[in-house]
Structure 1
């Protein structure tokens, strides 16, 4: 079997570990041959490939990003039938028998459509936001949270030195898992998620009370938090999959706080793509490796149209459609855990 591997959407730590595990297991256990498609679905549409062998992938475990490159190319943008036909034509020309698509909601959504059209494909879930509904966790999230917490720890000390409110904007367009975990682990006084309508007067009240007891407020806010107003979100630019390109939540929050707390000193730090880069944590290396191994066994056994998924401590395959149906957002119960507690 000749297998094509692609990585789509935003990069995150652990992508190379999936590629490494898939190639090593597929080559050694099942005699598979591998090619990598460059820059996600763009490489599939253009037939742009590189060979993947054991020597190439062995050093990849600790390397962030993806050696295959990525993009937000949507092969179905001009219609499902046309996109499927273009993909099928390239796979036939390259003698690729099956695909392993590593990505999030958009990449796996395309994979789901290809499977429905009869193209052999399996997936491995990748989203730094940890918001795919069919798995308990995705790789990259643990590294991102630790990076954000490290930054908050540093910002908290300089905030304390200058009696200043530090506002930290983290990734999270529609799901606030990164902000939730970062805020809890860093001891943030306020954490604002996309899933809620923030009470900015209450945020200002907390800010004043923290300053009054001689401490520096630390506020963590998701990039998709509803602090811009609906009009700004509606008019935001959109990517190839139609997603609003949100940002500026930290600046918008700063503006609102300065209007409510006279004399407040603030600094906004946008961590942004800092969370995507760098060496994956041990937890992400392990999870990514397990996902790669599971995907290869699915291909070998003909369990197509499925995605590697973590349930509890076990990794198994679930239908691709389960991963792309509904985003896994922060539930009310998780937000309620810290409600009414002033840190």
Structure 2
């Protein structure tokens, strides 16, 4: 590869806190190399547009975005370019349009910020079109393998923990069981981290089975000890006791996780009799000011991604391991979905604190 002069950057998939901090770090580091940075609008959709939609990024444009949530570039988690839904109902492969957009901008490399699904699509595009790709893991679910932390996770845990802190007082005041339903897709990382930090009495995650009888026994034990309220945090992917997923239908018939909190409230009322209330935290976990840790990781990842381009190392993902930034093959990071290990330190910690986790 010759001298790098022009790099692109895009954010793909669901938004989260810390994305703008990555963009800022990339621009700062690339400017130090004397390179130009082009921010691609709305993920790969910007490369699909004609002419391609982008913003030339300079330090003056990104200097004040460190603490801003969301992404200044926009994003999307819909429309796989290899099977893209058109307004007339057709499904088209538009991958070559994206590759052509990359070439139209005369890019020497591109940095893709996304979760495992986005990285899989970006890698496939890069392999097909000879695009030089480096990726940065971001997802509040923290389910990308190899990296100990993905951008957005820490902020989401902070928000969920604060919600539990607030629910403590209203639960105690009314002698209620309060249920907090949090995101996480098929991994329970947010629930177990926030549950321990927020003093939950019950943590339910999809990786560990539970029974209603044992759950209610835990609530009965607390009541017998004179504790007139309980806090439960549950990951959205937790199934019913019978093993059925709890979903809700969104616009255009799309099925997504949602409703397990209300399911638990109903069965708890039947077996325990407690007055129960449900709070669904939802997209509040994605928004807001990024935590200091997310800003730090985002800055470190952004600098490291640019340095990989400078070294001519592509098809790599930056990752956090043992208090250092490392880089690994993208394929290694997306081959396996990272869920909570039932034998992990956090699970042992929760059990040691007397928190009911299931089994």
TM-score, normalized by the shorter chain, greater than 0.5 = yes
Q: Which residue of 2 aligns with 1:86?
A: 97
Q: Tell me the CA shift for residue 244 of structure 1.
A: 5.6
Q: Which residue of 2 aligns with 1:252?
A: 263
Distance 2:231 2:43 in 1: 38
Distance 2:102 2:350 in 1: 51
The structure 2 residue matched to 1:165, chosen from 177, 189, 194, is: 177
Q: Which residue of 2 aligns with 1:176?
A: 188
Give a deviation string over 1:257-308, Cα, whole Å, max 9, x none.
112123x101100111111111111111000000000100111111011111
Q: Tell me the CA shift for residue 319 of structure 1.
A: 0.7
Are the aligned partners of 1:164 and 1:217 in contact in 2 as well (CA < 8 Å)? yes
Q: Tell me the CA shift for residue 150 of structure 1.
A: 1.0
Distance 1:104 1:293 in 2: 19
Matched, 1:23 2:34: no
Runs of at least 5 residues in structure 1 that lack an aligned partner in the other structure: none
After superposition, the Cα gap between the structure-2 partners of 1:174 and 1:239, relative to the gap in structure 1 and judged at 3 Å, is farther
Are the aligned partners of 2:212 and 2:241 in contact in 1 as well (CA < 8 Å)? no
Are the aligned partners of 2:248 and 2:259 in contact in 1 as well (CA < 8 Å)? no
Distance 1:304 1:217 in 2: 50
Q: Which residue of 2 aligns with 1:151?
A: 163
Are the aligned partners of 1:224 and 1:246 in contact in 2 as well (CA < 8 Å)? yes
- Greater share of helix residues, 1 or 2? 1
Q: Tell me the CA shift for residue 49 of structure 1.
A: 1.3
Runs of at least 5 residues in structure 2 that lack an aligned partner in the other structure: 86-91
Give me the CA root mean square deviation. Answer: 2.2
After superposition, the Cα gap between the structure-2 partners of 1:338 and 1:302, relative to the gap in structure 1 and judged at 3 Å, is same
Q: Which residue of 2 aligns with 1:206?
A: 218
TM-score, normalization by structure 1: 0.92
Q: Which residue of 2 aligns with 1:329?
A: 339
Q: Tell me the CA shift for residue 6 of structure 1.
A: 0.7
The structure 2 residue matched to 1:115, chosen from 116, 119, 126, is: 126
After superposition, the Cα gap between the structure-2 partners of 1:238 and 1:196, relative to the gap in structure 1 and judged at 3 Å, is farther
Q: Tell me the CA shift for residue 106 of structure 1.
A: 1.3
Are the aligned partners of 2:237 and 2:245 in contact in 1 as well (CA < 8 Å)? no
Q: Which residue of 2 aligns with 1:189?
A: 201
After superposition, the Cα gap between the structure-2 partners of 1:231 and 1:222, relative to the gap in structure 1 and judged at 3 Å, is closer
Q: Tell me the CA shift for residue 171 of structure 1.
A: 0.9
The structure 1 residue matched to 2:82, chosen from 76, 80, 94, is: 76
The structure 2 residue matched to 1:311, chosen from 307, 321, 329, is: 321
The number of equivalent residue pairs is 337
Secondary structure at the aligned position of 1:25 is classed as helix
Secondary structure at the aligned position of 1:283 is classed as helix
Q: Tell me the CA shift for residue 24 of structure 1.
A: 0.9
Are the aligned partners of 1:103 and 1:123 in contact in 2 as well (CA < 8 Å)? yes
Matched, 1:40 2:53: no
Q: Which residue of 1 aligns with 2:137?
A: 125
Q: Tell me the CA shift for residue 105 of structure 1.
A: 0.9
After superposition, the Cα gap between the structure-2 partners of 1:156 and 1:322, relative to the gap in structure 1 and judged at 3 Å, is same
Distance 1:237 1:104 in 2: 23
Distance 2:256 2:316 in 1: 29
Q: Tell me the CA shift for residue 91 of structure 1.
A: 1.2
Alignment of 1:41-56 (within 5 A): 41-46=44-49, 47-56=52-61
Are the aligned partners of 1:172 and 1:194 in contact in 2 as well (CA < 8 Å)? no
Flag as ranges the 4+ runs of structure 1 deviating above 4 A.
228-233, 235-240
